[in-house]
Amino acid sequence: MDKNIREVEEEIYSKDKNIRIETLRKLVSKFPKKIKDGFVNLHIHTNESFSVFTSPTEAVWRAYNEDVEYFGINDHYSIDGHPEFRNACRIAGIKPAFSIEAIAMDASSREEGKRFNDPNNAGRTYLVGKGVTRKLKNGSRAYNILEGMKKAIQERNRKMTELIEKYLKELGYNIPFSYKDVVYLTPHGNATERHVVQALCEKIANRYPNKEKRLEVYRKILRYELTPEEMDDVAELQTLVRAKLIKAEMPCYVEEDERAFTSIENLTYVYRNFGAIPTYPFLGNPITEGESDLEALIKRVKSYGLYAFDLFDFRTEYSRAKEIIEVAKSHGFPVFIGTEHNTKKMIPLVGELGKFDEFLGYFRKSAQFVIGHQILSKLCNYGYIKEDGKPRIDNLQEGFDFYAEIGKKEISEDEIDELSKRSFEDNKKYFGIGD
């Protein structure tokens, strides 16, 4: 890439969304390609929650360079990044999937001390809404549930910020630190505890530009012999600060408010109101007691209205992925692959699991399935999940095949725009959907 192109590429990191999008358009025009039979990644976070990506557009540009054909945005508690992501994918010729992630609490599992995909907290369960097709209605029950969770999270982050500033003063460091510094790092105020840590690290770096002094400060506040190498690695430093300062039993820990964790029933209800498919994401490693028996897990998640799985590359071993996919196939469950990218460490968008020919066909079919769901939801009001939480097609394998076939069709965004002007009934006829 020559100097002029590198200078253009730098504008991908602009704070101005319009500049980012136009930069992507220039780059795709300069390096045109048709991504066919490409890779799949349906679970990445962006700066709309917390990520190494500075914007959805940057994420799409990297996906374009790594030959990702099906790409999915999956931020925590937010769909604010979806419009930019859609626009960027359209420019790059990438097929987009739109999702959201949050944490629920399974009260019975907590009482039993049983863990699922949160290894440190019994009962706490990460859930994904795959294939978001609409916004929540302001003031609706689903809207209020999600807003209540977000409010509790922000209140905790604010208390944590205040506690950190007090702690620093007690140690003799006058570093003004407020919640405004945290929220400043987010495009729409969707701050996480990772943002609290990032803001603190940036404050310390600005206050102590001398590396030796900065190292001394970190060693004192973390009560840990931080190495210069650890301090220079942004992702590693933030991970250590988070672990040594704000986690349980650490000096600036704030207990999490139970209001931040709604029930699984409530969260799946929220996802259905987003028009999404409630999905269970596997932890990867370690394998918890709740994830050890896959047949029992399938039965459990179906009882909650969850009908798909997420896997994470770089965190799941080949043998475990093979086991999960085989069980999923036998039950008609799609399996989505992703990489999260929810730290400041840049890793590839496609890892070993995503490149295995043995798995890639199933990952592609699963991606086509969610694309089909999105298309039929928008054009026919015929999404995979009905309002009552049941799959629209009783036989899960038949439903999986049907929506995957729709998603496999080469339907351009322009065609979808044209079809969206027609009635649901006309579009059902177009897609061959009977009553």
Alpha helices in 96-189 (DSSP H): 107-112, 141-170, 179-183
Q: Counting runs of H as helices and runs of E as strands, what totals does the chain give?
A: 20, 8
Percent of the chain with pLDDT over 90: 96
This prediction has a pTM of 0.95
DSSP result, 325-393: HHHHHHHT--EEEE-B--SS----SS-HHHH-HHHHHHHHHHHHHHHHHHHHHHHHS--SB-TTSSBSS
Q: What is the CA radius of gyration of the chain?
A: 22
CA dihedral 55, 61, 65, 71 (to 10 degrees): 70
Q: What value does the mean pLDDT of the chain take?
A: 95
**Contact status, residue 389 vs residue 272, Cβ threshold 8 Å:** yes
Is CATH 3.20.20.140 what the domain over 33-133+277-430 is classified as, yes or no? yes
Residue ranges of the domains in the chain?
1-26, 33-133+277-430, 146-246
> 3-state class of 243 per DSSP?
helix
Question: What pLDDT, in 10s, does the model give residues 309-335?
Answer: 999 999 999 999 999 999 999 999 999
pLDDT at 229: 97
User: What residue has token string 């009908």?
Assistant: 307
What mean pLDDT do residues 130-145 have? Answer: 98
Q: Is the pLDDT of residue 115 over 90?
A: yes
**Contact status, residue 193 vs residue 184, Cβ threshold 8 Å:** no
Question: What pLDDT, in 10s, does the model give residues 275-292?
Answer: 999 999 999 989 999 999
pLDDT at 1: 47
pLDDT at 410: 87
